[in-house]
Amino acid sequence: MKSETRIAIQEKRRQIRQGAQRPKMGEQTKMTAFDAVAWQAALILEGKRGVITRSQTKLDKAQGADIGHVNRGLTLSSADEARPFVGHNWTACPRATKACSLVCVGSQTGQGAFPGSKIARIGRTLAMLADAVRFNALLDYEIESERVRASVFGYKLAFRFNVASDHWEMARKTAIRNPMVTFYDYSAIVEAVTMARDVRRVYSRKNGIKSDLTARAMVKDGYGVSVVFDTPKGEALPATWEGAPVIDGDKHDLWFLQAPKDGAFVVGLRVKGTKKQKKAAIASGFAVKVG
């Protein structure tokens, strides 16, 4: 993390402890980007803002009596969003492509595109990098609180560590610390899927020959893979891809409840975003053409 970012967060934490007025998100959106995200990180680390994501369209679909789960997640910055505040080589998604970054559901479409959402994502990421011990303690506390609350109503807690990022090792460590919670994720890193023990994962296909060939090989080897199709909203996804059954990942995010017990499967997703974003996703090959 850049020294000026770390210093700014420390200074704002000091101000909070001394009773300074805490800015609301509406006020933060009017600040410089640097001050806005530094305040967000400081507020999180001082316990004045929550860490986990409790309401997000896709997460919200995957909960209720018919599913038996409450679904929560951690929405950190996607791809290179936090790079200006961390360092020129830093990325949240080591295998991200330009095409997937432009239509990232966690940051570029729907609620994720709002200025306040971006500040929140980057602020969480900076908080995690500035004080990992404190951040993880807050994260674990909120996860356990959600698990207990869900159990009161007879539900299990499902948790997606990477709503918009791909910190697969951090997700594994968090899952180990919270063994009574079901962790799941998508990852474009092969080892994250093949070595998964504590987190349910599928390989996330991107555009490009290498990722496409990897996705096909993963299916052949019996693993789960997520694939974005050019299927319009409301229309049925293809029944199979590379011989593996396709389950509807847009129905709700808990794909592991729909997946077969054994063998390969595909989490099918419909391309999302504006008309321009969808067109670019299809043209780049990120969204697979059907038919």
Inter-residue contact 17 to 23 (CB < 8 Å): no
SS3 215: helix
Q: What is the pLDDT of residue 45?
A: 98
Tell whether the model's pLDDT for residue 260 goes beyond 90.
Answer: yes
C-alpha neighbours within 13 Å on the C-beta side of residue 52? 23
* Cα three-residue angle 265-268-273, rounded to 5 degrees: 160
Q: What is the pLDDT of residue 65?
A: 56
Inter-residue contact 202 to 226 (CB < 8 Å): yes
Domain range for 266 is: 3-288
Give how many domains the chain has, as a whole number.
1
State the average pLDDT over residues 207-211: 92
Q: Where are the alpha helices (DSSP H) in the chain?
A: 3-17, 25-28, 33-45, 57-61, 83-86, 98-102, 115-130, 132-152, 168-177, 190-194, 209-220, 275-284
The full length of the chain comes to 291
Give the Cα separation of 76 and 73 in Å (integer). 10
Give the Cα separation of 96 and 80 in Å (integer). 9
Tell whether the model's pLDDT for residue 106 goes beyond 60.
Answer: no
Considering the chain, what is the average pLDDT of its residues? 92
Tell whether the model's pLDDT for residue 115 goes beyond 80.
Answer: yes
Inter-residue contact 159 to 72 (CB < 8 Å): yes
- Please give the model's pTM, rounded to 2 decimal places: 0.91
